[in-house]
A and B are shown apart, each in its own frame.
Chain A
């Protein structure tokens, strides 16, 4: 490869014969117009290495070309936010006691589509290093997964590979995997979504920075050798659609979780010496993005000598070294006099540690291979990727999809019991225990509420407090109405945190969309973000970090617009938390929230309150929007239609009341109504608690549209169980908060009975729910789960 610096050619006209060819530009995912922009900025032609560096940094993955103007719409501040989104490797928030929580979610969709095990494994590894680069110890992993239906062998292959990859990598590094979600829909066939989130903990005064601010500081490259794997991962894989997966195999990285584990320990040990000024992980676009972005953040430049980079194989070109995405590597910026201290730490851990360059005052990237200059570019030109504000357009089909009236949906011939069993066994609703039991969710001994409830709860040792964590998305809602769907995703995350008893503090998001250059996709992207931002404001939670994954298409078909949101909440008292399981018999079960137009609760005599028993008819006021995008509509009627709705002010009140009930020790359990609606939520709480439920009078008067009442997914509803003596106090709080509260029944006996037409033994609903996923995978479950 010719590495000399080309003068700008006399004719810069885009002639298909001229270098770079269209094939070269496609490889690095730059448009011809962007190439012209580079010529203008440099006033000369870039050499192939330089062009590759532009391609990497101007990729959507690193440069956020299409999304950055929209991402500004998210609120990013609160009294607890310590770092601005995008300013460092992950968002950080203050949780009190001088401690910071650091977290971020990131996608690894495209690598997982090509090689699911390594794709998912390195997705975990990558997000863990983002947290490590903040100087924090990783304390929890979460993941959000989406696949096509499991009856397709390719989707099963992807599913098994991804789960095994997460299990293999996550278990080895000793970070518990505490929460997640898994969905199946034809929209994700061959384009699975693999979003991994990591949460870290650090004393606030020990948070690290990625900014290289001091010229003269030495760049130490630590960790795995650099190999030829993953070249063009950022530009090639994540920045365009691809037809043939075989074509992309060499661009997938291979993980080494053992190296990751010792890298975590060694980096934290090195940071603790105080000898390190800045630290950065090598992720997408490897050495190029890590060193250049660090220098740009610190207002400095960087000089690299590639001959010093330790390599996996001989004969690698500077281009390959600069763009390799080999895993398990970090770069540390260290004052020269501190280098021996840092080197000693890595020697102890047997981890290679090499001086590969220096921070320089001149704001440029000067890349040498020994004494030969192979690239020299002003940093500004590289890190300021072009921004595109496109014009979105709602597709005509979307309007069509939104049309739905209850009259269009025939009442199913099967009765409520049969429908419930069918929904419980649907892989989207069924227990995911068969998956999460393959993940170590207890290591580090902080896990108070394990996977299976609405949110995980982890205690923070030495403080008496706990945090709650969850991750959620709903592509169907967003597909039907991006703006409302975006609101609903944020609302559900905060509701799940609230159901654990936690105050939602901050969010991280992963925006999974199709090709934004298509107006209908850009419309989805823009309006999902607007909807999410609106809900964030309404619920008072900032977005502190995130990631964008665009071009999620296979064979011309885009995935559902799928923003995935990870949430972090705080519990002041770790012992005051809730699970979704009904813990015992003899408890009252109530629903908070729901229909907005209920008559107010009537206060009874003797200080007690009789919950709105008069309001049943209006309680069951069902609307077409309840069925919009519901699991019921998909599973029973094979339709994805309608226009879901949410009332954010009701949502806020319901969540606040839920938290109040848990903190005050009134609620014995809490579970939100989501996929499958009220009946599924009640069934899950019964199964998890091993206790039945005897539905009260409210179920004796189901409306004619029992399907919408039992299985509709109206938002802002939470099911609580409580001791009967706590009801008056809860009802008073609900009244004050203007939240509808309805008595649903009492726990007890080994059956779920909701009126005359839904009456099933606990064993039968448990078998449907616990074995649903394994049956879909074609495994004979034989016995119930342990």
Chain B
């Protein structure tokens, strides 16, 4: 029996779950910011939100496009 799930489907699932977790954390930190002493440099740019969003979009694309049929 050959595999029926594509590697790109696995990649999509991983990216999607990471994207949601990271973007979700970013939104949480908007409401509950870290103290200035422990906040990373350039955290005011909110890289977690846009990087997490990008991963979510990519993950969604790969998950849907390579989903098992």
Q: Do A and B come from one complex?
A: no
Residue ranges of A at the interface with B (Cβ–Cβ < 8 Å):
none
